[in-house]
Structure 1
Amino acid sequence: MCTVGQDEVVIVLEIIPDEKTVPRDIFCHFQCLYDEAGKGNTVSNMGHFIFNDNFLDSKDHGGMLYICPTFQCLHKLMIPSPPYVFGILLQKWEVPWAKVFPIRLLLRLGAEYRYYPCPLISVRNRKPVFFEIGHTIMNLLADFRNYQYMLPQIKGVTIHMEDKKTIINFPRNRYDELMKVVGSSNEHVMAIGASFSSDADSHLVCIQNDEGNYQTQAINIQNKPRKVTGASFVVFNGALKTSSGLKAKSSIVEDGLMVQITPDNMAALKQAMKDMVNYNIGCGSVNVPIPDEEVIIQWIEDDKNVNVGVKSPIDNLPMDGIESIHIPNATDYMGEHRVIRWTDVFFIQNEDTGSAREPVDLSRLAETLSNASCIALASHLDKLKDASLMKIGLRVTIESEKVGYEIGACGEKLPDFYMNDLDNELIPVIHSAASQTNDGAICLELIFHILN
């Protein structure tokens, strides 16, 4: 999958009686994911795939939800090198939730199987955990009919409920996405979907009972006391009247939080978000000096929960927290019998630079480096493949004190044999880039794969 810019995919399927082989549909699904990724349509954490035909001998199997594992046990599982996601088989009734609000579905499956936060095993022909949508607050926040609008779910935002205190964490590197929420929200309502928090020891879960009504429960890590409970969304309702006698009111709604505040508080909250400053909301009667409960909106360090466990093929440098993008439809460069393909670029941030350059500024440089590398290596592809050097990393550093590159595979530098051709192609590109760069250091790592 990595050769088409797709995270690897793991499916753990429960065996049914007398089943001797892995069902063909699973392999067809892998092929479909591979083909779609080749067109630029990849799936990642909290993504989904919808089945249009029978799958595993049932028309009730509606699709897959893909998740990154957190607290689940992975012992004795055959798993690929990171990054990878697990695919969980869904029933047709659950598909709308996978599209609109996947964290609700994930945690509801966890409650069903008493496994935190959710099991990784796909069970066929099980009873769906949700049925007709019915009356839920999500009807007000998302479009279940045409999927024209959704509750914005912002990566790295977490909601932690503790005794007498709720903390809503906004990562600083999600400022632009939060500003879109502020800009698109109306005068009275602003809703934000949160991420699953690995810092919480429990989480609110929304259960739909047999009558179709939605109720709140909690799911927690086994044998661990509940101190911090996560929530899946927050709705700020700015229509609280001053005549109510309340400063603000906070309440649990399904698997989220409703915070009712006055129009003035709503305007002040939005301004605080624009200014990237913390904001406290005291809840309870206006006549009481100490609030019954506090809702604290705070800005935290950048969300670095990306590429966890990924290592550089050059020297096994951990890539945890380093942003990257997959390269769909990259040009294949032909050798005699094989091709080389550029699949990823990592934007390594140097701590000693004052300019954090956005990936879009570096796309042209990355493409030029990719072309030069592929041209240099094209005549050597058979030799590299014979030496099992099929995944190659190129790290280029351009800063005031240092300009150069490193290239390697399997945790070691490429042999000197390849350096002459690489120097001829790469050094002019790197020096040209260095001459145009005067606002801090750049460090990129490109990943290539050699394919038959």
Structure 2
Amino acid sequence: MLLENDRIVISIPNDQFCTMQKIIESSNEHVLAFAASFCKIADLHLVCMQSQENATGCTFVVFNVSSKTGGANFRTSIVEDGIMVQMKQEVLTNVKEKLMKHENIEIKDEATSYLVGCIPSSGASIEIRWENVRKSDLKIYSSVDGRWLGDSIRFRLSGRNVEVSSKTLLIRLVSLYILPQDEDESSPSCDPTLNDPPDDLYVLIKKISTSLAAALVNKADGYFVKNNQAKNVGVRFAYGFDTVEYSAGIDGCEIPEALLSITDDCLIPILSDSVRTTELPDASVARNRFCAN
């Protein structure tokens, strides 16, 4: 998010479209607010003090309905290390509708608007745009072996309720990452704007996760919890018409040998059977590797 002389620019990663939909759906009629990441290209950042540079970064924005906009479409002010944008009801409604449709937004006001710091500005604007995230900025690492996952496509699955529990342990499927087939490929061949994984792939992931969790839940308590802190468990697998392979780990380290026979007995039959049945995803995703946490 950038505050410039006569405009506000808000950039949203395309792969956070699903998250933005949830934010809008949970917001009330008169307010929309969300946080922003640190902006590396800003000349300065809102913390406590500001200097007279052209572009200033901030860490959150609140869109708020107000009748006190002085006849302009919007009015902004600094609130701690973020900004509040006051606007008319119809303007905020339009913002929400366009965000829900994954559309870019530009709000212009030829009249005198009140940009950052309540300073009048003629021809001010607010831009909200979707863009692809620079993968090198993402610090996401695999629970299997610590591999960097910034070149993957992530699906958050915590709302799907894929979980198995015992008296002392709960194992829940949280995320699915689609990885490039080769290390030199920049990204997987899957649409990054998808809210959910392809149905056939999700069926397989659910089958693998449920079976593996059921096999481990009564035998892995000492491995998955330490000092009352739960650990992250990951399974990476690749398969196609001539390939079936998998690897598993806990918090970036190889899974203990004591659990290898359990994972082998559980995963190898499922993956092998998937090659022989219609469970194999279509060609658009079958060439990728997958990692489930």
Normalising by the smaller structure, the TM-score range is 0.5 to 0.7
Instruction: Tell me which residue corresponds to 1:292.
Output: 123
**Amino acid of the structure 1 residue aligned with 2:129:** Q
Say whether residues 1:271 and 2:97 are aligned partners: yes
Q: Which has the higher contact order (CA 8 A, sep 6+)?
A: 2
Note closer, same or farther for the CA distance 1:190–1:392 as it changes in structure 2 (3 Å cut): closer
Task: Structure 1 unaligned segments of length 5 or more: list them.
Answer: 1-158, 207-216, 220-224, 332-341, 379-390, 448-452
Native 8 Å contact 1:369 1:426 kept in 2: yes
**Amino acid of the structure 2 residue aligned with 1:349:** I
C-alpha distance in structure 2 between counterparts of 1:237 and 1:257, whole Å: 11
C-alpha distance in structure 2 between counterparts of 1:319 and 1:277, whole Å: 27
Larger radius of gyration: 1
Matches within 5 A, 1:1-400: 159-206=1-48, 217-218=49-50, 228-240=55-67, 244-283=70-109, 285=111, 291-301=122-132, 307-308=139-140, 313=145, 317-320=147-150, 322=152, 323=154, 347-350=176-179, 351-353=188-190, 357=197, 362-369=205-212, 394-399=235-240
C-alpha distance in structure 2 between counterparts of 1:191 and 1:421, whole Å: 46
When structure 1 is superposed on structure 2, of 186-195 and 267-276 the one drifting more is 186-195
Native 8 Å contact 2:235 2:246 kept in 1: yes
C-alpha distance in structure 1 between counterparts of 2:17 and 2:209, whole Å: 26
C-alpha distance in structure 1 between counterparts of 2:269 and 2:30, whole Å: 57
Note closer, same or farther for the CA distance 1:201–1:310 as it changes in structure 2 (3 Å cut): farther
Say whether residues 1:445 and 2:291 are aligned partners: yes
**Count of matched residue pairs:** 244
**Amino acid of the structure 2 residue aligned with 1:320:** G
Note closer, same or farther for the CA distance 1:405–1:240 as it changes in structure 2 (3 Å cut): same
Task: Structure 2 unaligned segments of length 5 or more: list them.
Answer: 114-120, 180-187, 221-231
> Over aligned residues, Cα RMSD in angstroms?
4.8
TM-score (normalised: structure 1): 0.42
Deviations 1:267-289 (A, max 9, x none): 221211121111112246269xx
C-alpha distance in structure 1 between counterparts of 2:91 and 2:127, whole Å: 13
**Amino acid of the structure 2 residue aligned with 1:319:** L
Deviations 1:22-41 (A, max 9, x none): xxxxxxxxxxxxxxxxxxxx
Instruction: Tell me which residue corresponds to 2:117.
Output: none
Note closer, same or farther for the CA distance 1:273–1:291 as it changes in structure 2 (3 Å cut): farther
Native 8 Å contact 1:396 1:406 kept in 2: yes
TM-score (normalised: structure 2): 0.60
C-alpha distance in structure 2 between counterparts of 1:189 and 1:343, whole Å: 33
C-alpha distance in structure 2 between counterparts of 1:160 and 1:278, whole Å: 16
**Amino acid of the structure 2 residue aligned with 1:397:** A
Native 8 Å contact 2:46 2:59 kept in 1: yes
C-alpha distance in structure 1 between counterparts of 2:139 and 2:269, whole Å: 31
The CA deviation at 1:293 is: 2.2
C-alpha distance in structure 2 between counterparts of 1:236 and 1:259, whole Å: 5
Identity %: 24
